[in-house]
Structure 1
C-alpha cells in the first residue's frame, strides 16, 4: 500500500511524495506552470524549443553526464512534454539512482546553458518534428477542433515551432529563451513529484536538498481563461484511415474534483464486458474503441475530449446522451466497484506512468463523491464535436501550421433505439462445466505462490499478422473485461515482436478459462487492409516482426503458469488442452537477408535495419556492443549530422531473434543514403582497449540479470530455455572479453547481407 505526502516548501516549491514499498523503480517528474499558451506571440514554438533545450548542457552537467544520456546509460526511461498551460520533464531509474537523477533534473531546470550549437541543433530537430506532425492524424484532428474556439486566441496560434518561426536572428532567439526561462522557471511555478520505495522522510529530504538549487520566486496569478466555443461548434475534417468522432466539453470548477469524476467516468465508458458501455457500441458495430483525453487543464477547469473510432458518428452522439442518463442511475455500490477497477488499473502502472497520470492524466480518486455532479455538468455543458473520415469533402483552411480540409457538420437524429447498458457487480449464476480429459503441457513456476499468472504465446519464430492480432484482440476484450469484474486482470500485448496473453487468475474462474480456447481461434481473414500508421518509422516497426519471423502464426500456443495451487494448475492445464501442446524444439531460422519496401503516404524517408546475432557471436558480446553503439550512433546521426527526428541504434529482440536494430527517419535523406550511413558507422566504430569500458558493459549487464524478475519475464525466459533458445547469464557476462567485442563487430560487418531491411519507397 502506497503512502502519500504533499508539502509546500518555504521557498514556494510544491512537492508530492509517494512511498511505494514494492516499487522496483523510482521516478521523478517536474512540472512548470507555463506552456505553449504562455509563450510570446512573437516566438511561436518557444516553449517547445525550451522543453528540448533543457536536456542539453546545464551548469553542472555536460556531455554524457547530462540527464538524458545518464538515464539512457542506466537503462532507465525519460521524456518531456509541452502542454497548453504547463510543461513537464520526467524520468525513471532504479531506486538507488533517484537522488543522482533528481540532482541533474534540478540543475537543468535551474541553469540551462543555451549554447548556440544546442539552439541550432534543437531548432533543426523541432523543424523535422513539425514536418512529421503535419501528417500526424491525431494532431490534425486536434487542430481542427481548436478552430471551434472563439477565445482565447492562443488556441488558434502555431505552437509546434519551426526553423522559419524561430528565424535567423539567433541572438534574439537566445534572449527570448532566457526571458521565458527567467519568467517561469522558479520555485513558485514548479511542482515536483517523487515516487519510489524510499520512505517519505527520505524523499522529503531529497526534495528539500534539490529545491535549494532552484531559482526562488513567487507564485504568479493564474492566467487561465476558459475556452469559449463558436456558435456552430461542430466540424468535419478530411483524414485518411478509419473514421473518428470527438465529443468535447469544457468543465468548470474545482479541477481536482473534475479530474476525479472523469477518471471514474472513463472506467464506466470503457467497460467491454457483455452489456457494458463499450461492449454495447461494439455489439451494434457503432464504434470499436474509446479513448479519453484532456485537451487543456488549468486551474479554471479542463477541456475534455472523448475519442471514438467509428463510422457512425450520428449513432454515437445519440448513444452518448443515453449513456449519461444511464450512468445517472448507478448505485453507490456500482460506483465503488468501478472506482476499484480504476485503482487496480492505476496500481499496475510503473512509477513513471503513475506520476504522469497524477500530474496531467487520470489518477483514481479515493471516493466517488464527485461523479454525479460531473454527470450533471456534462449533460448541460456546451459541446464542440469533430467528425473526421476519408469520406469528408471540405474546403482548405490554413490554421496552426496545418492545411486542413474542413466543412460544417451536424449529427442527424437516428431511429434505432439505444442499447440497454449493464453495470457491475452483477449476479453470475454458476454453470456446470466439464473440462477436457487431456492436459496441456503447461510449464509451472513458483508453485503455491500468489497470484496465479498465466502466459500464452505463439510458437517460437512465428509472428501474427497485424490483422490477426487485431482480430484476436477484439475477440479477447470482452473476456478480459469479465475477468476484471471477477477480481483478475488480463491483457493482450506485443512483447519483443511476439503477441502474448497475460492473465492474473482469481480463484473460481473456470468459466472464464473454458471460454478462452474459443476466443483464441484465429479470426476469419479481414480483406480490408489496416491503414498505415501516420509516422513512417512506426509503420515499419509494425511490419518488422513478420519480416523477421520464419512463418506466420500457426495457431499453436506455448503456455506457462507462475504461482497458483496444484488445483489451479490442473484446471488451467485441462482447459488449455485444445490449443496448447508440446511443440518440441523450434526450427532455427535461416540466415538470409530480406528487403521489404513499404509504401507510406508521408513525405519522410524511413529505414529499419535488423542485423541478427551471428551464431558465432556470444549474446553477451552482442548486447555489450549495442551498449557502446547506442550513444555514439545518436551523437553522430542526431547531433553532428542532424539526420532527423528519429535516430536509434540498440539491441533488439524480435520474433525470438536477437540482433542490433538501426532506426532512422529523415525529411531530407533518401533510404539508400541512410543505409549507407549505418554501414559507415559500423565500419568506423572504434572500440578502445580500455578495461574500464569493458567493466562498465559487464556491470550494466550484471545489473540487468540482478534486477528482480516479474512473473511474466520469468515465464518468458523459462519457455525460451525449454525451447533451447539462448539468453545471457552471469557466466557469459563474466566471460565477456575485449576480443569478443571486436569479433562481434567483425561478424556483423561480414554478415551485413543477412540483415532484414525495411524502408519506405
Structure 2
C-alpha cells in the first residue's frame, strides 16, 4: 500500500490573514495549489451581473511581470500540468498542478496575477466577447437550462434565481461606473484576509508551509470582509418541492444541514445495493437511475437535489415521492453506527489514492456526532410518516477490505494438500492455455508504490454488445470507493476496460468484472444520452471515426464466444500476478494478440459529419504522425509543445474565434497525432478551417523565432518517477498497442532531448502536407472538394 496521507490536513492562519491548509503525501509525484477567494457571483453589485466571472477571466491575461506568454496558464501547459479556475455563487477558485521542481514558479505566477492584474480596456473588450460567446452556448445548453428551470421553485428574491452568467449587455466595460465597480470588487475581495490556500504534495509540512508563507508575502494584505447573508431559500414553512421535465424528476429539499451530513446522506441514497431505494425503483420500473447531490451551500443554507431518471415520461411522480419519503423515514430511524464506520473508510481510501489536485481540493469529513444530530434534525423536520417498506441498509463494500489470504495456494477449491495430485491433465492443460494468454505483465513501472493499472481490450466480429456501461455502473462505484477507477469505452467493434488505482483490491475488482460479464443475459438497452456541448460530443465520437470501421446494421448482435481479448498489467507486484491470472481466466472471450492496424490515410483528408444538435460550429482536426516510429513521435510531440501556446493565443485571444480552443498530442487506439479543437458561436466551419490552415502555414517561421524549443521541459514530463501512475500507464498502454518496447518512456524521453530545430521543422512540413492524413470531425457537412466525406 502507498504511504498514507498525513492523518489530518494542517490548518494555519498566517499573520496577514491568509488561511492555509497543508497536505503532505509522500506518494504524490506532483504538487497542487487551490486558492479560494471568499467572493463569487452573488457578491457582485446587482447592476453588473457576471462581474465576478469576468474578473476571473481577466486575471489570466498577464501582468507586467508575467505577460500572457509567461503567465500561469502558459507556464503550466508548458510543463505538462493542469490549470483552471471556477466562479461559483459565493467563492472563486484558482487551481493548478505541476511537477515538484517547477511548482514554486507556478505559485509565484498565481500570486502575481491575483495581486497585479493589468485590467486594460483592450483586454476587457476582447474578453467580454469570449464571455458573451460562453453565454450564448450556456443559453443553448440543455443541461444548463434544466438547472435554471430546476431552481424556479426557490424564493423569487434569492440570488439563485437571478442572472449571473455575464454577457455583452451586462458588462459595459466602456462605462466608468462599471470600471469603478470592477476595480472596487478586486480591491475589496482579492486580498489576504479573503483567501484560503490549500497545498498538497510530497514535500514535508515544513517545506509546504514555507511555500505558503512565500506566497502570502506577495499578496495585498487586508481583513476578512463578511459576505452578506442571502434571503430565505423558500417562503413560509415550505422546505421542498418537485420539478419534472421530460424523463427527469427532481425532488428538491432545502435545509441547514452541514456539508458532512449531506455528503453522508447522499452516499447512501445513491447506493445501488439490493434493499435500497434505487433497487426498489428499478424493480418497479419507476426509474432507471438516481443521483442525489448538493446544488448549493453557503452559511446555514443548503439545497439538496434528488434526481430520478424515469423509465418514461408517464411514470407517476407521486409513487416515486412516496417511496423516497418512506426510505428517508426508514433511514432517519436506523442505527448509523456501521454506516459511519464505512463512510470513514470511504473518505480515508479516497485520500489514499487521490492525485495532488484532488487532494488539495478535498474537504471531506467523517460524520461527527454534531453532524449526525443535525442530519437527524433535518430529516425530522420533513415530518415523514412511519416507514412501511422492508428497506435494508447497504452492506459493507467488500472491495474496501483486504481479501482473506488462502493458506494452500495452488489447490482447486475444496481440495486439501492430500488431493494435490488429483488435478486432471485436462485441468492442467486448460490452466496452461489461459495463463499463456495475451495478458502482458509489464515491469516498466515500479511495483512498490501501492498503485498499478490494468487494461483489457476486446475485439468483436460485429458491434459491441449494448448496455455494458450500464451493466458495470454498480461495480464502477464499488471499485471507486475501494480506490480503483474502473471505466470502459466502446470504439467501433472494440471495447476497452481500464483500471487505475490501488493494486490490493484490483484482483477482486477483476474477479467481479469477469463475473458481471459472464452473468449478463444478452444485450441491455443503451444508457440515455447525456447532454453535452458540441465539442465534447465530437471528442466522444473521435475514436470511432479514426478507427475507420463501418457501423453494423441495427439489430446486429455480437457474440462473446468469438470475441478476442488482450491486456496489459503494470505497476503491480509479483504477489498479485497469480490472483490476476486466475481472475483473467474467467473473462469471456478468447485471449489473443490483436494486430495493431492503424487506418492508412495516405495523405487523404477525411471529413466526418456528426450531429450535435448545436447551432454553433464545432470542429476537431486529428493529424496522425506519418509513421509509427518513436523518432517521429518525439518530433511531433515537440512540435505540439511549441505550438500549443501560440495556437491558443492566436485563435482564442487575438482572433476571438471561440471560447473552446485547444491543441496537443493525442493518442487514439495506439496511434499518435496532433489534435486541434475549436467551437465558435460566430465563425462557420469554413472559417475555422481557414484559420487553422493559416496558423499551420505560419509554423516554420514560428519555430525559427522560438528561442527555446523546450526539449528539457517536455522530456522531463516523461520521466517514470515523475509521472502519476495513471498517466504513465496510459502512455504505456498506447505504446503496447503500437508494438513499442517496455522501455518506451525512457526511449521517448531521450529522443525528445535529442531533437533539433530541423527535426521540428520537418514535422511541421509533414503536418502541413498532411503526410499522415487528416481526420476532421465536425458538426456539419464537408466544406469543399479538398476533403473526402467519410461514409
Correspondence for 1:89: 94
C-alpha deviations, 1:263-321, integer Å up to 9, x for none? 22232223234445544444444444444443322222322323333344444423322
* Alignment pair present for 1:569 and 2:583: no
Return the alpha-carbon distance in structure 1 between the equivalents of residues 683 and 25 of structure 2. 47
TM-score (norm 2): 0.81
- Within the candidate set 612, 637, 650, 2:651 is matched to 637
Trace 1:454-465 onto structure 2 (pairs within 5 A).
455-458=454-457
CA distance in 2: counterparts of 1:16 and 1:157, whole angstroms: 33
CA contact (8 A) 2:115 2:219 kept: yes
- Aligned partner of residue 272 in structure 1, secondary structure: coil
Please give the secondary structure, in 1, of the residue aligned with 2:715.
helix
Residue 421 in structure 1 maps to residue 409 in structure 2:
no
Corresponding position: 1:477 with 2:473:
yes
Q: Distance in 1 between matches of 2:670 and 2:124?
A: 41
Do structure 1's residue 246 and structure 2's residue 250 form an aligned pair?
yes
The correspondence for 1:8, drawn from 4, 13, 19, is 13
Offset at 1:719? 5.1
Q: Which is further off, 648-657 or 571-580?
A: 571-580
Q: Is the 8 A contact 1:330 1:423 kept in 2?
A: no
How big is the shift at 1:196?
1.3
Q: Which secondary structure state, in structure 1, belongs to the residue aligned with residue 61 of structure 2?
A: coil
The equivalent residue for 2:407 is: none
What displacement does 1:721 show? 5.0
1:600-679 equivalence runs, <5 A: 600-615=612-627, 618-679=632-693
Aligned 8 A contact 2:173 2:179 in 1: no
Q: How does 1:70-469 map to 2 (within 5 A)?
A: 70-150=75-155, 152-167=157-172, 169-225=174-230, 227-230=232-235, 234=241, 236=243, 238=245, 243-252=247-256, 258-311=258-311, 312=315, 313-328=317-332, 329-358=334-363, 363-365=364-366, 367=368, 370-381=371-382, 420-425=391-396, 437=431, 438-439=433-434, 440-446=437-443, 451=450, 453=452, 455-458=454-457
Q: Give the structure 1 partner of residue 716 of structure 2.
A: 702
Structure 1 unaligned regions, length at least 5: 384-412
Secondary structure at the counterpart of residue 46 of structure 2: coil
Provide the C-alpha distance between the structure 1 equivalents of 2:517 and 2:142, rounded to a whole number of angstroms. 32
Partners of 2:455 and 2:567 within 8 A in 1: yes
Residue 647 of structure 1 deviates from its aligned partner by 0.8
Once residues 645 and 760 of structure 2 are traced to their aligned partners in structure 1, the CA distance between those partners, rounded to angstroms, is 16
The 1-side partners of 2:98 and 2:751 are apart by 25
Q: Is the 8 A contact 1:496 1:656 kept in 2?
A: no
Q: Cα 1:122–1:718, aligned 2, differ >3 Å: closer, same or farther?
A: closer
Deviations 1:89-143 (A, max 9, x none): 1111112222222222122222211011211121011000000101223321221
Cα deviation, residue 492, structure 1: 1.2
1:698-740: CA deviation from partner (whole Å, max 9, x where unpaired):
4312332354355555555555555553466234223312221
C-alpha separation in 2, matches of 1:198 and 1:710: 16
**Structure 2 unaligned spans of 5+:** 405-411, 416-426, 552-557, 781-791
Give the drift of 1:483: 5.5
Distance in 1 between the 2:116 and 2:480 partners? 47
State the alpha-carbon separation in 2 of the partners of residues 23 and 138 from structure 1: 35
Indicate conservation of the 8 Å contact 2:133/2:659, yes or no: yes
**SS of the residue aligned with 1:160?**
coil
Tell me, in whole angstroms, the C-alpha distance in 2 between the residues paired with 1:382 and 1:619.
64
The answer to which of 307-316 and 135-144 deviates more is 307-316
Q: Verify the 8 A CA contact 1:274 1:478 in the aligned structure 2.
A: no
**1:491 and 2:491 matched:** no
My pick for the range that moved more, 201-210 or 367-376, is: 367-376
* Cα offsets for 1:16-41 (capped at 9, x unmatched): 12212221111111111111111111
Where 2:760 maps in the other structure, the secondary structure is: helix
Match of residue 409 from structure 2 = none
Indicate conservation of the 8 Å contact 1:442/1:561, yes or no: yes
Is the CA contact 2:343–2:366 (under 8 Å) kept in the aligned structure 1?
no
Partner of 1:734: 753
Secondary structure at the counterpart of residue 693 of structure 1: coil
Residue pair 1:443, 1:560 contacting (<8 A) in 2 also? yes
Partners of 1:336 and 1:368 within 8 A in 2: no
Aligned CA-pair RMSD: 3.7
Q: 2:30 is matched with which residue?
A: 25
SS of equivalent residue, structure 1 residue 49: helix
Q: Partner of 2:672: helix, strand, or coil?
A: strand
**Stretch deviating more after TM superposition (511-520 or 632-641):** 511-520
| Structure 2 SS opposite 1:161 | coil
1:386-430 C-alpha deviation (Å, 9 max, x unpaired): xxxxxxxxxxxxxxxxxxxxxxxxxxx9xx985733422389999
TM superposition shift of 1:441: 3.2
Aligned residues, how many? 714
Partner of 2:541: 543
Q: What is the SS of the residue equivalent to 1:214?
A: coil
Are the aligned partners of 1:251 and 1:381 in contact in 2 as well (CA < 8 Å)? no
Alpha carbons 2:250, 2:306 under 8 Å: kept: yes
Counterpart of 1:748?
767
Bigger Cα displacement from structure 2, 179-188 vs 119-128: 179-188
Q: TM-score, normalised by structure 1?
A: 0.84
2:665 match: secondary structure: strand
Describe the shift of the 1:575–1:251 C-alpha distance in structure 2 as closer, same or farther (beyond 3 A): same
Q: Distance in 2 between matches of 1:732 and 1:221?
A: 55
In the other structure, the counterpart of 1:408 is none
Structure 1 stretch displaced more, 129-138 or 344-353? 344-353
1:673-698 deviation per Cα after TM superposition (whole angstroms, max 9, x unaligned): 2112111110122244468523x234
Range moving further from structure 2, 544-553 or 666-675: 544-553
Distance change >3 Å, CA 138–CA 49, structure 1 → 2? same
Equivalent in the alignment of 2:591: 581
Of 601-610 and 148-157, the range deviating more from structure 2 = 148-157
**More displaced 10-residue stretch of structure 1: 580-589 or 60-69:** 580-589
Cα separation, 2, equivalents of 1:572 and 1:91: 36
